[in-house]
Structure 1
Amino acid sequence: MQHGKYRFIVGFLAAPMAIYALFVIWPFIQSIYYSFTDWTGLSPEFKMVGFKNFERLFSDEIFWKSLQHSLLFVLLLPLVTLGLALFFAFMLNVGGRHRKESAISGVRGSSFYKIAYFFPQVLSIAIVSLLFAFAYNPNSGAINSALQAVGLDSVQPEWLGDPNLALWCVMAVLVWSTVGFFVVLFSAGMASIPKDFYEAALLDGASRVTTFFRITLPLLWDTVQSGWVYMGILALGAESFAVVHIMTVGPGGPDYSTTVLPLLVYQKAFRDGQAAYATTIGVALLVVTLAFAAVVMRLGRRERLEY
C-alpha cells in the first residue's frame, strides 16, 4: 500500500519537477557556466577565462554602486510597503471599532478604500512608471504644478534630474504600486482572526496600538514573513528594473544614481554586448536574493500560533 502511494506521488510530481528543472534550474546552471567565459552574446564562439569576470566585478565601481542601491531597495521597500499595508489593513478591518452597530469593525467607507488601494494593481508597472515620469517632470509635471498652485514657487525640485532625489522618487513609485496588494492580502488574513479576541481586548481597555501588537501582528506573522520575502524579490527583480528603466534618464542616471543590479545586467548584456559579464552580475544578484530570503526566514522564525 505504501509502495503504491509513493509511486503515485512520484508519478504526479515527475512532470512538474521536470518542467521546473528545465526552465528554472537549468538557466541558473547555464548562467553560472557562462560567467566563467568571455561570451559576448552575439557570437556562438567563446572560451573559458576562469575567474576574470569575477575579478572585474570586484573592481567595478558601477557594480558596487548598483549593489548599494539594490540593497537599499531590499531593506527599505519591504519595511515601508509592509508597514503601510499593515496600518491600512488594520484600520480598514479593526480601526473603526467605536461604531455603534458593531464593537469591532473597519473605518467608515472601508470597502471603498480597499478598492482605491488595490487600483494600482490593475495597471501594469510600465503604465505606472510612465504616469509618474510625467508627474515628476520639473517643468510641466503635476507635482511641481501643485506646489506652484499652493504658493510654493520656490520649491521646484528637479526630482528625477537630481542625483540626490532620483532614487527616492523611484522607491516612492514602487511603494505606491505595491502597497495595495498587501493591504488586500493582510485584510484577508485579519478577516480570519476571531472577533472574540478583539472584543476581549476592547473590554480590557486595550488601545489600538496594543491590539495591533498583541493580537493582529502575532497572528498574521506567517503572512507578513512571506510578504517580506516576496517584496524583497520584487525589489531585487523585474519591478525595480522596469521602474528605473522607464523613468530615469540614461537609464540609471543621473550619474548612475538610480542604477540597480537588474538594470546593470540588462545594459551589459544587450547594450554593451558583454553577456558573460552580465551573467556574472546575475550570479551576484542570485546570491544576494538567496541571502536575503534566508536571513528573513531565519530571523522571522517563531512558534506558530493556532486559533
Structure 2
Amino acid sequence: MQHGKYGFIVGFLVCPLAIYTLFVVWPFLQSIYYSFTDWTGLSPEFSVVGLGNYAKMLRDDSFWNALRHSALFMLLLPVVVLGLALFFAFMLNVGGRGRRGAAVTGVTGSGVYKIVYFFPQVLSIAIVALLFQFAYNPNSGALNSALSAVGLGSVQPDWLGDPNLALWCVMAVLVWSNVGFYVVLFSAGMASIPKDFYEAALLDGANRMTTFFRITLPLLWDTVQSGWVYMGILALGAESFAVVQIMTVGPGGPADSTNVLTLLVYQKAFVGGQAGYATTIGVALLLITLAFAAVVMRLGRRERLEY
C-alpha cells in the first residue's frame, strides 16, 4: 500500500514539475548561460565571452545609476505602502469610536472606504500610468490646474520633466496603485483577531496606538513580512518597468533620472541589440531580489504568535 501511495503522489507531481522546469527553471538556466555570451538577440550566432559582460556591467555608469533608483524603490516603497496600508486597515477595523454597544469597531463607512482603496487594483498598471501622465502634464494636467485653482498659479512644476521630481512622481504612482491591495489584505487579517483582545486592552487603559503595536502588529507580523517581500519584488520588477516606460520621457529620463534595472534590461536587449549583456543585468537583478528576500525573512524572523 505504501508503495502504491508514493507512486500515486509521484504520478501527480511529474506533470507539474515538468511544466515548471520547462517554463521557469530552463529559461533561468538559459539566461545565466547567455550572460556569458555576446549574443545580439537577433542572430543565432554568438560566442562565449566568459566574465566579460560582468566586468562591463561593473564599469557601466548606466547600470549603477539604474541600480541606485531600483534600490531606492526597493527600500522605500515597502515602508510607505505597508505603513499606509496598516494605518488605513487599522482605522477601518478597530480605529473607530465604539457605538451600538460595541467597544471596538471601525470608522463609519469602512465598507465603502475598502472599495475606494481597492479600486486602483481593478485598473491595469498601464492605464494607471497613462492617467497619471495626463495628471502630471505641466500645461493642462490636473495637478497644476488644482494649484492654479487655489491661487498657486505661480507654482507650476514640470513634474515629469524635472530630474529632481520625476523619480518621486513615479514612486507616488506605485504607492497609489498598491496601497489598496494591502489595506484589504491586512483588513482580512485584523478581522480574524478576536475583539476580546482589544476590549481587554482598552479596559486596562491602553490607547489605540498601544493596541496597534502590542496586539495588531505582532499578530499580523507573518502577513506583514510576506507583504514586505512581495512589495520589494514588485518594486524591482514589472510594475516599476511599466510605470517608468509609459510615463517618463526617453523613457528613463529626463537625464536618466528615472531609469531602473528592468528598463535597462529592455533597453540593452531590444534597443541596443545586446541581449547577452541584458541577461547579465537580469542575472544581477535576480541576485539582488533573492538577497532582499533573504534579508527581510532573516531580519523579520520572530516567534509565531497564535490565538
TM-score by length of structure 1 reads 0.98
Q: For residue 21 of structure 1, report the CA deviation from its aligned partner.
A: 1.1
State the one-letter code of the partner of 1:183. Answer: V
| Counterpart residue number, 1:150 | 150
Match of 1:242 in 2: 242
- Structure 1 unaligned regions, length at least 5: none
Task: Provide, for residues 90-147 of structure 1, a one-character-per-residue CA deviation record: whole Å limited to 9, x for no partner.
Answer: 0000001433441111100101100000000010000000000000001110000000
**Partner amino acid, structure 1, of 2:118:** F
Give the stretch that moved more between structures: 63-72 or 101-110.
101-110
CA distance in 2: counterparts of 1:96 and 1:9, whole angstroms: 50
Structure 2 stretches of 5 or more lacking a match? none
SS in 2 for 1:160: coil
Matched, 1:199 2:221: no
Alpha-carbon distance in structure 2 between the residues aligned to 1:197 and 1:14: 46
1:156 deviates by 1.0
Match of 2:184 in 1: 184
Structure 1: how far apart are the matches of 2:292 and 2:70?
A: 11
For 2:235 and 2:127, locate their aligned partners in 1 and report how far apart those are by CA, in whole Å.
18
State how 1:1-307 maps to structure 2 within 5 Å.
1-307=1-307
Between stretches 96-105 and 171-180, larger displacement belongs to 96-105
Q: Matched residue of 1:159: which SS?
A: coil
Q: CA deviation at 1:154?
A: 1.9
Question: Which secondary structure does the structure 2 equivalent of 1:301 belong to?
Answer: coil
Shift of 1:48: 0.5
**What are the Cα deviations for residues 203-229 of structure 1, in whole angstroms up to 9, with x where unaligned?**
111111100000000000000011011
CA distance in 2, matches of 1:79, 1:9: 42
Q: Give the distance between the partners of 2:40 and 2:168, measured in 1 at CA.
A: 34
SS at match of 2:160: helix
What one-letter code is carried by the residue in structure 2 that aligns with 1:28? F
Q: Distance in 2 between matches of 1:285 and 1:61?
A: 16
* 3-state secondary structure, aligned to 2:73: helix
Separation in 1, partners of 2:118, 2:108: 17
Give the fraction of aligned pairs with identical amino acids, expressed as a percent.
Answer: 82
What's the secondary structure of 1:256's corresponding residue? coil
Q: Quick one: which amino acid aligns to residue 298 of structure 2?
A: R
Distance 2:40 2:97 in 1: 62
Moved more, 96-105 or 172-181: 96-105
Distance 1:9 1:202 in 2: 51
- Cα offset for 1:11? 2.1
Secondary structure, aligned partner of 1:82 = helix
Partner secondary structure for residue 45 of structure 2: coil
Equivalent position amino acid for 2:23 in 1: F
Note the C-alpha offset of 1:9. 2.5
Matched pairs, number: 307
Runs of 4+ that moved beyond 6 A = none
Q: CA deviation at 1:15?
A: 1.4
Q: For residue 50 of structure 2, what is the amino acid of its counterpart?
A: G
In 1: Cα distance, 2:217 partner to 2:97 partner: 17
Counterpart of 1:296, as a letter, is V
Change in 2 beyond 3 A, CA 1:304/1:161:
same
Which piece of structure 1 moves more, 154-163 or 247-256? Answer: 154-163
Deviations 1:158-217 (CA, angstroms, capped at 9, x unpaired) = 111000110000000000001000000000000110111011111111111100000000
The code of the aligned residue for 2:217 comes to L
Distance, in Å, in 2 between the alignment partners of 1:204 and 1:97 is 17
